[in-house]
Amino acid sequence: MKRSSRNSKERKLVSWFLSLLFCILNGSNLFVCGMFFVVIEGLLAFDKDSFSLSSFLFLSIVSAVTASSYILIRELLYKLIHYLGYRAQPDLKVIRMRRGLDISFPVFDKYSQDYRLLYTRRSKKLQIGYLLICLGYFSGLSLIMIICTVLLRGVFELLELESKLSSSEYKQFLGFLVYMGVFVLLFTGQKYWRKIVETLKKRENVTVLAVEHGYPIFATKEEA
């Protein structure tokens, strides 16, 4: 009985350690990719040399690569923890904060032999397809942000606001609109992504074997 209780405590300790490790590593991943994106937005909004077709195309590619890199690194972290014998719970743990700033993170459980066998029945083809859709969607979202920034700067130049406002006021006003637009687009983008996931779940000849950190594990109905 004592041994069983000790094993249970050890599993909980390992589970929370993996959650903390994931948060640190993925938080670093988010910070680095976020800083890349902030620099890109800043260049397009304020740097005159970046307001050209060649610069726009280059920064658009970098933006899409940055968004894809974040998703791929995050998935790699989940996969590495999976190899250690732990899987993320179906839903993210949410800590309610003041002013609506909630913190969500995955909690990991040691999976059983039955779950391991269930996981091996997943369709790798469907999972790769799902990942590619995810990469394409969020890369496209980053490109929309880039285009909106360029259009907003173009409107500001058309209205000649730079000559009507002081340099600091111009940058503050434009920067506020740009980054508010980014947050709104991210919020609505996440909302529509959840709808896309639900649509993917309802496809014919597709079944959901399990859910990890809100992401479905797909299999064909024949494989399931």
**Residue 7 and residue 5: Cα distance in Å, rounded?**
5
Tens digits of residue pLDDT in 15-30: 889 999 999 999 999 9
Task: Note the pLDDT of residue 54.
Answer: 79
How far is the CA of 183 from the CAs of 158, 163, 180, in angstroms? 25, 28, 5
Q: Residue 101 above 70 pLDDT?
A: no
Q: Is the entire prediction scored with pTM above 0.95?
A: no
- How would residue 53 be classed by pLDDT, with cut points 50, 70 and 90? confident
Q: How far is CA 4 from CA 8, 30, 46, 53, 60, in A?
A: 6, 38, 62, 65, 55
- Residue range 172-192, pLDDT digits in tens: 777 777 778 777 887 788 888
- Residue 75 near residue 131 (C-beta atoms within 8 A): yes
Distances (CA, A) of 174 to 151, 169, 171: 12, 8, 5
Mean of all residue pLDDT scores within the chain: 82
pLDDT digits (tens, 9 = 90+) for 119-139: 888 888 889 999 999 999 999
- DSSP letter at 205 equals T
pLDDT at 161 over 90: no
